[in-house]
Amino acid sequence: MRLSFIIGLILLAPIALAQPKPATQPTTRPSGSGVKPVPPSELLDSLLKPPSTAGQVLQPIQDGPDLTTGKNAVAPGAPQLNLLREGSPIHDRNGRLTKSADGQSSELTFESDGQALKDPPMIILPNKTLMQMEAVIVSANKDVKFKVSGIVTEYKGRNYILLEKAVAIPDVTQQF
C-alpha cells in the first residue's frame, strides 16, 4: 500500500506543480487604469446625436456645360454646347478617332448629323474596342471613319464615351 501511495504521489506531483499560483493569475477587471464606466444616459445620448460629416452620403453635382466650348474655347465666340446626360446611349453614329489637345487621350469626333451640327468631341474611355480602332488605323495607314455605339458618361463638365461597338466604314461608302 505504501508503494502505491508513493507511486500515486510521483504521478500527481507534476500536475500539482503545473497549476499556476492564485497570486499570478490575470484578473478580468482593469487595475486602476483610470477608465471609468459611462453612465447609460450618456451612452444613449452619444448614440442618438447626428453623425459627423465624414459619414454622409455624397450629393449629386449639378449638370454644367462643356468647359472646352463657349468662353473657354480657343476660338473667340464659340457656341456654348450642352453636355449629354450620363447614361445616354449613342447608336451607330459616324465619327473619327483623334488625339486630344494634350495628346494623352483619344477622342471621338462625330461627323455632322445634319441637324444641330454642334456635337463636341467625346473622350474615349480605354477598353478593347478602342484598342481595335487604333489597330485598324495603324494597319490602314490613313484616316478611317467608324460607325460607333456606346454609353455616355460625364466627369468634370466633359462627356466621355464607353464604346461598345466600332465598325470601320469601307472607302466605297465614304465616296457617296
pLDDT digits (tens, 9 = 90+) for 46-102: 888 876 666 677 777 766 655 555 555 555 555 566 788 899 999 999 999 988 877
Q: How far apart, in whole angstroms, are the C-alpha atoms of residue 58 and residue 55? A: 9
Q: How many CB atoms lie within 10 A of CB 160?
A: 19
Return the closest-CA partner of residue 106 out of 148, 64, 74, 60.
148
| Residue range 84-174 in CATH 1.10.405 | no
At residue 92, φ and ψ (nearest 5 deg) are 45, 55
Out of 8-12, 67-71, 108-112, 114-118, which region has the weakest mean confidence (pLDDT)? 67-71
Q: How far apart, in whole angstroms, are the C-alpha atoms of residue 21 and residue 175? A: 99
Return the closest-CA partner of residue 94 out of 12, 169, 30.
169
Cβ(110)–Cβ(119) below 8 Å: yes
Report pTM.
0.52
